[in-house]
Chain A
């Protein structure tokens, strides 16, 4: 689960990780009032969406008067912000964060993520703050410091020393501040079951303080149950409504831009089905894993969600029945076609437990548009042909 920048900064503040002061606003009036409450004469108006690259997309702007705060808030609220992380359709901005201006002397990068190969969290840091870290990693990998921390022993002094010497911080007071900053961030990462924390940029101010100018956090979905205060920060308007609806029925759905709807049991086979469709010259319209306990209701829901996508020209149902019996799935498909108006060809491949019985059930059902396939390759080929309007 992702949260907004302003929420991440609330979590930071709880752990004593320094951030600029700021207040969230839903309207231009609130934005101006917030600027007044913060005081000073320079503010930053920041669009709050779950995607990086907001500055480049025009969603982060500097205001030098309250009139300008109003002007910018009016412009940014309600805009559809397109960044390299939103996709071409962009994201609607519903909230702006009004923040006091910072005295920026230096911009750094700091993140905490899980290193899957090491099987422990690492702190990643770089002097190249404000840049896309992927680009830095590609062009100047030597400018990225990685420090692995074994959770069994926690953040030690040497981790801090590797960090500050690696970043070229020589002033004793500054070293101490940076080490405290990173140590608190690590604690916060562990205690909240974070999946990723990224601060880009982390700035050094004119007075030698380090503050999180930006903040991005994602959490382990499997651990949200023990962090109700984090789960409360969920902003469902940032999530794809179809993906969300699917998840409520135990389905895992991701929309893609092709023409062949896919309904598959198991995430690996679902990806493998998409790959096979591609390989045969077609394009998958979605990823959909119906899970291990597919029944008539979930299959019907799957059809409904797939068919919401107007690009879908055929649906490939690919089920390898293990513990799940194919005859039950076949009955589920028949029930589903009664509940939902399935107006495109449906190619069904059922293999595994009780597959012959399933084929018989489908054969006797006399459903228009239903094409039975014998295996994965056959099913994908038939789906590609059907989507092209061939019989």
Chain B
């Protein structure tokens, strides 16, 4: 078990033949991900990385039975690509693209929800189930198999957190980078529940940051629904208000969205909150021993 993806998951790549799509699709295949084809409009009928290329997602799904799409389409066209995946019956779209307009993602997400398609991202490193399936740009070798689930808005903090968990002698079941944009797909709440239900996950690490209130919503959710131990770190305790800290969504608006309010909310519901990402590994060890 694990969550969302495993060794049997059939994946197509939207933006398959582009530079990024090609490089990362190849890396994913090397990791063991079952990439069964890709979509590049106008290049249907070709073969790329040994797999068929289709003009539309609908054709790709019909021919391959893929249920997941990894999206590497440029920002101006990414909403269109996500809606196409939703209309074609894809179950999960993992959107790696950075710099998608917020208005576009608002529409794309509403369309995905209406069609019953889950999304991860945009502007995220993707998802990995250790030793089985990697979808995105995560460096696979860090994620040794184990029983800790990880959810993070930040790419490099995902790697940092996973690395520490492994160094403490534990491992990762599934790690999900949910992205740092103002509007994202799957968030802490849904993923926490999936890890709660996953027999192979014993503890959960959640890494958040300033801006928005998803971490506060997560705290409320944890109180009522999550019994597995949770370790949390919120980046940006030392960030100034009103400044966008790299990620489009990482901004303290007025007095809302600070690291402190999120840390307090999580602490209050029994989450092991650390003040530095350097403490994540030790905290996991603490909650598991």
Residues of A at the B interface (CB closer than 8 Å) are: 85, 114, 116-117, 119-120, 134, 137-138, 150-152, 190, 193, 195, 220-223, 225-226, 252, 254, 256, 264-272, 274-280, 284, 287, 289, 292, 320-323, 351-353, 375-377, 380
Q: Say yes or no: is B174 at the interface (Cβ < 8 Å to chain A).
A: no
- In the bound assembly, the distance between CA atoms of A223 and B259 in angstroms comes to 28
Q: For A380, list chain B residues within 8 Å (CB).
A: 276, 278
A225, A274, A292: the one contacting B76 at CB < 8 Å is: A225
Residue B81 lies at the interface, judged by CB distance under 8 Å to chain A: no
Q: What are 14 A-B contacts defined by CB distance under 8 Å?
A: A114-B102, A119-B109, A120-B106, A220-B102, A226-B76, A256-B238, A268-B152, A271-B245, A276-B278, A277-B238, A322-B139, A322-B155, A351-B160, A376-B276
With a cutoff of 8 Å between Cβ atoms, the chain A residues found around residue B211 in the complex are 116
Residue of A264, A276, A277 with most partner-chain B CB within 10 A? A276
Closest 5 CB pairs of A and B: A268-B154, A267-B246, A266-B156, A377-B278, A223-B101
Q: Which residues of B contact A (CB under 8 A)?
A: 27, 75-76, 99-104, 106-107, 109-110, 125, 137-139, 141-142, 152-157, 159-160, 163, 180, 182-183, 207, 209-213, 217, 233, 235-240, 242-243, 245-250, 254-255, 259, 275-279
Interface contact B138-A322, CB-CB below 8 Å: yes
Chain B residue with the shortest CB-CB distance to A191? B103
Given A272-B160, A376-B278, A85 and B242 contact (CB-CB distance below 8 Å)? yes
Question: Which interface residue of A138, A220, A267, A279 has the most chain B CB atoms within 10 A?
Answer: A267
Name the distance in Å between B105's Cβ and chain A's nearest Cβ.
9
Within the complex, the shortest CB–CB distance from A252 to chain B, in Å, comes to 5
State which of B138, B163, B254 has its C-beta within 8 Å of the C-beta of A351: B163
* Residues of chain B within 8 A of A270, CB atoms compared: 245-246
Assembly CA distance A195 to B125 (angstroms): 25
- Which chain A residues border B163 with CB–CB below 8 Å? 320, 351-352
> With a CB–CB cut-off of 8 A, which chain A residues contact B137?
292, 322-323
Given contacts A134-B254, A287-B245, A320-B163, contact A269 B154 (CB under 8 A): yes
The answer on a CB contact under 8 Å between B106 and A278 is no
Question: Contacts of B101 on A, CB cut-off 8 Å?
Answer: 193, 220, 222-223, 226
Give chain A nearest CB distance to B48 CB in angstroms.
20
> In the complex the two chains form, is A252's CB within 8 Å of B102's CB?
no
A320 to B278, alpha carbons, bound, how many Å? 13
Which of B141, B157, B238, B279 makes the CB contact (< 8 A) with A274? B238
Min Cβ gap B84→A in Å is 18
Which B-chain residue is minimally distant from A252 (CB atoms)? Answer: B246
Please, which residues of chain A bring their CB within 8 A of the CB of B233?
Answer: 272
Contacts of B152 in A (CB 8 A): 268
Q: Check B209–A116 contact: CB distance below 8 A.
A: no
A323 to B26, CA, bound (A): 13
Q: Nearest-CB distance from B207 to chain A (Å)?
A: 7
Instruction: Given A254-B245, A268-B155, decide whether A275 and B275 contact each other with a Cβ distance below 8 A.
Output: yes
Partner of B99 from A137, A222, A321 at Cβ < 8 Å = A222
CA distance A85 to B182 in the complex (A): 22
CA distance A151 to B104 in the complex (A): 11
Q: Give the shortest distance, in Å, between B274 (CB) and chain A (any CB).
A: 9
A206 CB → nearest B CB, Å: 33
